[in-house]
Structure 1
Amino acid sequence: MIQLLFLVLCVEIGVAFFLLVKVGPLRELVMKSLDQVKLGRGPATVKTIAGTMSVIFMFHLMNILKIQNKGNKLGTMSPMDQVLWRTHLLEASLMGFTLFLGFLIERMHHYLRKLINIRSKVGASKEELEKIEKEKQQLKEKEEKASKEITTLQNELSKLTEEIKKLKVESQEKDKTIETADAHVVALQKQAADLLLEYDRLLEDNQNLQTQVQKR
């Protein structure tokens, strides 16, 4: 029994050491092994073993107290009682250390698993943050590009507005010129009509004169 307890204690010390100190891939191997132990019926089995060891631990403590009480009543302990007392004390000490280390290993595994999950989340958050920063930079570049394009379009719009104003002024001047030309054409047409009427009158007078000359 004592050899078995020493072996279990040494194994627990090794597991606790590899959980505390990262030596190559050994910590990951120990973590995966403990994860497997906590799957399925593992927790129930571990609790059963721990409960049995606790009962045996209490049994050894009771035997230690009985032997001490017997020695106190007799004033001294017999060699057999001394051997039994030391054996029970050694086994109780080994079981106590074994249970304590088992509890520490379980807590260390629990908090290391939490720490690993937190680090993975932090890593994912950093990747998301970098992605957001990259998207933000891209949006900023697009915004700057759009701002430059808007400025260019505004300048072109201003130029087009000025050209439209110039064309409007030129159009108004041409309209005035056309109106003046139309008025001049109307005046010329009226003058031509008057001249035509005068020509007809003169032609009629000429014919009348010729008629009169022929009659004489």
Structure 2
Amino acid sequence: MTPLLFVLVIAEINVILVLLFRTPLRKLVMFVLDCLKEGRGPIMSTVGMTLFAVLMSSVYSIMRIQKRSMETGAVNQTDQVLLANHILDSSLMGFCLFLGLMIDRLHYYVKRFDDSEHIKPCYKTMQTYETESD
């Protein structure tokens, strides 16, 4: 699961970088995000909640391993490997959720900013018409 999470983090970082800079690729990414958000219903929230549930399960496993090591007083090598793996998975899942939230907000703000860019020329022409008529 770790390689999949690394690929997901890298993909989300690339999407964020594309959304930050005005490139021709940004229009394509905006279109894809619009399609993902509108037509499919609550798919994105379902994926996010599933990832959050797996994250909580991993955190619970971390707590259980730590509790077991405190009770016995000695740290088992298998528990150390499992603990390290769970911590890595948990941190990657949390980072994926955070980046997903950033993509959602960036998509919203870029869409609002692009819409306001289209309105500004109309607003300027309206102001010139009003000042000419006064």
With normalisation by structure 2, the TM-score equals 0.91
3-state SS of the aligned residue for 2:39?
coil
Displacement over 4 Å in runs of 4+: none
Q: Residues 171-190 of structure 1: matches in 2 within 5 Å?
A: none
C-alpha displacement of 1:19: 1.2
**Separation in 2, partners of 1:126, 1:72:** 69
Aligned to 1:149: none
C-alpha displacement of 1:118: 1.7
The answer to whether residue 73 in structure 2 is matched with residue 75 in structure 1 is yes
Letter in 2 for 1:10: I
Q: Residues 83-94 of structure 1: matches in 2 within 5 Å?
A: 83-94=81-92
C-alpha displacement of 1:37: 0.9
**What percentage of aligned pairs have identical amino acids?**
36
Higher relative contact order, chain-length normalized (CA < 8 Å, sep 6+)? 2
Please identify the structure whose Cα radius of gyration is greater.
Answer: 1
Residues paired across the two proteins, number? 134
3-state SS of the aligned residue for 1:66?
helix
Structure 2 residue runs without a partner (length 5+): none
Aligned to 1:40: 39
The answer to whether residue 59 in structure 2 is matched with residue 65 in structure 1 is no
Aligned to 1:13: 13
Structure 1 residue runs without a partner (length 5+): 141-216
**Separation in 2, partners of 1:76, 1:120:** 66
Write out per-residue CA displacement over residues 127-154 of structure 1, whole angstroms, 9 at most, x where no aligned residue. Answer: 3334x16x92xx79xxxxxxxxxxxxxx
Write out per-residue CA displacement over residues 187-214 of structure 1, whole angstroms, 9 at most, x where no aligned residue. Answer: xxxxxxxxxxxxxxxxxxxxxxxxxxxx
**Separation in 1, partners of 2:74, 2:16:** 41
Letter in 1 for 2:37: K
Q: Residues 53-202 of structure 1: matches in 2 within 5 Å?
A: 53-130=51-128, 132=129, 136=132
3-state SS of the aligned residue for 1:109?
helix
